[in-house]
Structures are given as C-alpha cells and as structure tokens.
Amino acid sequence: MAAASSTLFHDQFLCSICLHTFEEPVSTPCGHNYCKSCITANWDSKSSDLAHCPLCKKIFNSRPQLQVNTEFRDMLEHFSRFRLKNQQEVIAQPGEVPCDVCTGMKLRAHKTCLVCLASYCEPHLEPHRSRKKHKLINPVPNLEDRVCKKHNKMLELFCLADEQCICLMCLNDDHAAHNAVPLESIFLESKAILQNVMSELKKKENAQKISKSKDKDVAEVVQVLGTLLASLQRKQCELIEVVKQKQQTFEKQAEDHIKRLDQEVSDLSKTRSEIDQHLQTEDHLCFPQNCPPPPPVDCTDGINPVFDFDLSQHIYVEMVKRSVARIEETLSDEMERLFDWSVTRTHGMCRPGGDLTDWDVTRGEP
C-alpha cells in the first residue's frame, strides 16, 4: 500500500511535457508547473510571439519571466529522497521473491497468483485484486515446480494412492481410479498432526526438565545437609577436645592434691608415733619440753578437687545438652516448614485439569 501511495505521489511530480520528474520546476501565471528547460523550449518552438500554457491553453500577452519555484523544488527533493529510501526498502533482496512484472530494478513480491502463476509487488498487485477468481497466496519462489509437467496445469490435488501432487487433468488420466483430495485439505490435516506431535514433544521435554530439576534438587539438598552434618561433626570434635583438656587439667590438679595428702598422711603418721611415745612417759619434767607441737590445721582440706571437677563437668555437659536440644528443635521447625511448603506446591501442581506443562520448573525460594 505504501508503494502504491508512493506511485500516486510520484505522478504529481512529473512534468507534463517531458513526462519525467521536474528539473528546475517553474510555475506559469496560471499555476501550472513545468521544467524550466521544457517550457522554454516549448515556447521557443512556436512561431507566434504569444506564449500560452500547454495544459490549460491560457494565452499570455507577453512571455512570463520564469522563476524557479523554490518551495516546490525543495518539496520535490524531499520526495525524491523519500522515494529512493522507500524503493531501497522494497527492492527484492537475494533469497526473496521478486515481482514478475517489474522491469529493471525488481521490487519485492507481495502476493503470488496461483492462476496467473506470477508474483506481484504492491503497485502491480492493485489492478489484479479485481480478479475475484484468482487465488492469491504469500509469495512463493519457483512457480514452475507447482505446475504439472505433463498437462502444464496448476497442481491442486494430492493423490492418496501414489502420495504425490497432481492437477485436475491427471484425474482423467493416470490417476483416474485413485482417490485425491485438495492440497489445502491435506495441508491443514498434516499441519494439525504435526502440531499435535509438537505438543507431545513439548510435554515430554517439559517432563524431562522437571525430572532433571528434581534430581538436581535432591543433589542440592543432600549437599546442604551434608555440609550441615560436617559442621556438626567439626563442632563435636571441638567439644570433645575441650572436655579432654578440662579432664587433663583436673587430673593434674587431683594428682597434685593426692601427693600432698600422701605427704600429710606420712607426716601425721610420724607425728602420731612421736605422740604415742611421749604419752607413754611418766616424767613430768621432760614431757612438756619434748612434746611436739600440734600439727597445723589446713583450711583447704575440706575442698575435694575431684568433686569440684565432677560438678563442673556435669554443668558443662548439661549446657551442651541444652544447646543441642535447642538446635534440634530449630532444625525440626524449619524442616516442618519446608515440608508444608513442598506439600502446598505439589497440590498446586497436581490440581484437577493440570498437567506437567503447568509446573514452573524454575526453582524459587519457599
């Protein structure tokens, strides 16, 4: 349509004398436009001194002084650039179907007529549209391949017996006893079959995507939980190491305390022996002088480091138990929330009337 409009506008920019695009357009007093050289030559060729307009035949008493119509010239230049650009856009490129009517530079075909066996650009298609019985389709190349080689008629039917395209004349010849259907009918039927096949393929592809996504999800869950277990194992080793260090510290303290107690017991035994000897004497004079002083009282004797260790260790173990219980409770709550989310999404996917194609295989955060 744009090309047809361009052609109509182009006619308005043709000189009525040379029938070419205006060059140095000038206007006569009556308002008609001509090429300056064309109207000058026209007037020079007349024997009469009176000039007249070639279109309206108006006679001028004296030859008008012709001046270039600058506004019209600028409009002409603008249109020429536009037309050149427009032609470049519709010129048939390699691989495109050209117009069979265009001479010289061929424009891109807009439609192909199956009756005329020709392709037409937009301007040349306009007069052809009035032919109602002519069937127009989108441009197709190699029209000779659509003609029956034997009868030189358009291939319009499909022989079901021989599975080949035939013309109407073939039904009365080689394919007289065969069943044939219109090409358009077999085209629509085959297209519907292919669309069904494509739909099934898309469903299978989507199912494969879901299956791969499921396997990937399982692997990611295993990896995440494995990381969590590894972290717990590291913390377990660290806690065991802390407990062992505390045990070693308390064992060292207990050993020192036991050694000190052994020494005290030994000293007390010696003192007791001396006391027993003094208790057996009856000498009032020597007894006070030789009697050993009482052993010093140690205020730390009531503190049992073993008991202190057991109490501290018990408190530490209880703290570990409470921390683990809180972690287990938090993990249980999070896992329950994930299970609820998974069940909700699964029910949405498996709703009545739904299929795998309705499921978005793109994973998201719960």
- For 178, half-sphere exposure in the C-beta direction (CA atoms, 13 angstrom radius) is 21
Rounded Cα gap, residues 106 and 101, in angstroms: 8
Gyration radius (Cα) of the chain, Å: 56
Across-strand partners of 164? 159
> Average pLDDT per run of 10 along the chain, which is 366 residues long?
48 80 86 89 81 87 83 79 62 82 83 85 79 81 83 87 89 86 89 94 90 83 86 87 83 82 83 75 64 57 54 76 86 83 61 46 42
Contacts of 61 (CB under 8 A, 6+ apart): 50
Hey, what are 222's tokens?
Answer: 């295993």
First to last CA, the chain: 55
Report the alpha-carbon distance of residue 298 to residue 264 in Å, rounded. Answer: 10
Structure tokens at 166: 């035939």
Count of CB atoms situated within 10 Å of the CB of 71 = 10
359/79 Cα distance (integer angstroms)? 56
49: which residues sit within 8 A by CB, 6+ positions away? 63
Q: What is the pLDDT of residue 361?
A: 40
Counting every residue written for the chain, the total comes to 366
Q: Quote the pLDDT of residue 3.
A: 46
Token pair 């719960």 is at which residue? Answer: 366
Cβ neighbours, 10 Å, residue 36 = 17
Cα separation, 196 vs 280, whole angstroms:
123
- Per the listing, tokens 């807009």 go with 110
**pLDDT value at residue 197:** 94
Q: Write out the two tokens for 95.
A: 């691989």
Three-class DSSP labels, the chain: CHHHHHHHHHHHCECCCCCCECCCEEECCCCCEEEHHHHHHHHHHCCCCCEECCCCCCEECCCCCCCECHHHHHHHHHHHHHHHHHHHHHECCCCCCECCCCCCCCEECCEEECCCCEEECHHHHHHHHHCCCCCEECCCCCHHHHECCCCCCECCEEECCCCEEECHHHHHCCCCCCCEEEHHHHHHHHHHHHHHHHHHHHHHHHHHHHHHHHHHHHHHHHHHHHHHHHHHHHHHHHHHHHHHHHHHHHHHHHHHHHHHHHHHHHHHHHHHHHHHHHHCCCCCCHHHHHCCCCCCCCHHHHCCHHHHHHHHHHHHHHHHHHHHHHHHHHHHHHHHHHHHHHHHHHHHHCCCCCCHHHCCCCCCCC
Burial 192-201 (b: 16+ CB within 10 A, else e): eeeeeeeeee
Residue 306's nearest CA partner among 318, 314, 297, 317 is 314
330 token code pair: 């938090």
127 Rama sector, left if φ>0, alpha if ψ -120 to 50, beta otherwise: alpha
Find, among 180, 354, 332, the residue nearest to 345 by Cα: 354
Measure the CA–CA gap between 333 and 28, rounded to whole angstroms.
97
Residue 365, pLDDT score: 44
